[in-house]
Amino acid sequence: MTPEKQAIATFLNHYLAIGTIVVGVIAILWFYALAYEWKTRDEKILLSKISKVALPLGFFISLVGTLISLYYSDYLGILPCGLCWFQRVFMYSQTFIFGMAWYRKDMKIFPYTLMLSTVGLIVGIYHQYLQMGYSEFIPCPAIASTIDCAKPTFIEYGFVTFPLMSVALFVLLIALSLTAERKWLK
């Protein structure tokens, strides 16, 4: 990797790690509010506002995740491992699902995006588990000549890795799906 690309990667790793932590805090607060059924009037107003923009918000969240992963692999040359590819499958497909649903104003997609995000989240949690140094339950789907799933490309703040970034994105999409389902699918 050239020094210029290394500087870009270091910059992105740092600020995306901060963004991942912020998204994690937002997700915890969001799930706390969902668990208590949005009892106050202000929370109901917030639920309504989020539900109205759920399709474009889901599209942009999944698009940003897709573009960042493509930027890292295609421009910076950081190759994804086998588990990264599985996570990408569940993220990339949602970009197209949300895009088409937004175009058609179809609010019935949220059970599908919830399922895709949940499976992506499970893969991401397992991948993070591996990269934090724990043993494999299921072997990495990579062959010997490719990237090892258990070896982190980078670790920021001692725990933020690519899998944790995908976990944060999937958790955000799950919260969005659950919020939209409560509003529109009753």
- Determine the pLDDT at residue 37: 62
| Distant-in-sequence contacts of 105-111, Cβ < 8 A, 24+ apart | 105/55, 106/55, 107/54, 107/55, 107/180, 107/184, 107/185, 108/185, 109/55, 110/54, 110/177, 110/180, 110/181, 110/184, 110/185, 111/177, 111/181, 111/185
* C-alpha span between 73 and 35 (Å, rounded): 37
Name the average pLDDT for the chain. Answer: 86
Percent of the chain with pLDDT over 90: 47
Structural domain spans, the chain: 3-184
Residue 185's pLDDT band, with cuts at 50, 70 and 90, is very low
Between CA 20 and CA 124, with CA 154 as vertex, the angle to 5 degrees is 55
Answer whether residue 144 shows pLDDT above 60. no
12-16, 41-45, 76-80, range with the lowest pLDDT:
41-45
Answer whether residue 5 shows pLDDT above 60. yes
The answer to whether the beta carbons of residues 181 and 110 sit under 8 Å apart is: yes
Percent of the chain with pLDDT over 70: 89
Residue 127: CB atoms within 10 A of its CB come to 26
Residue 46's pLDDT band, with cuts at 50, 70 and 90, is confident
Element (H, E) at 91: helix 82-104
Q: What is the mean pLDDT of residues 20-41?
A: 80
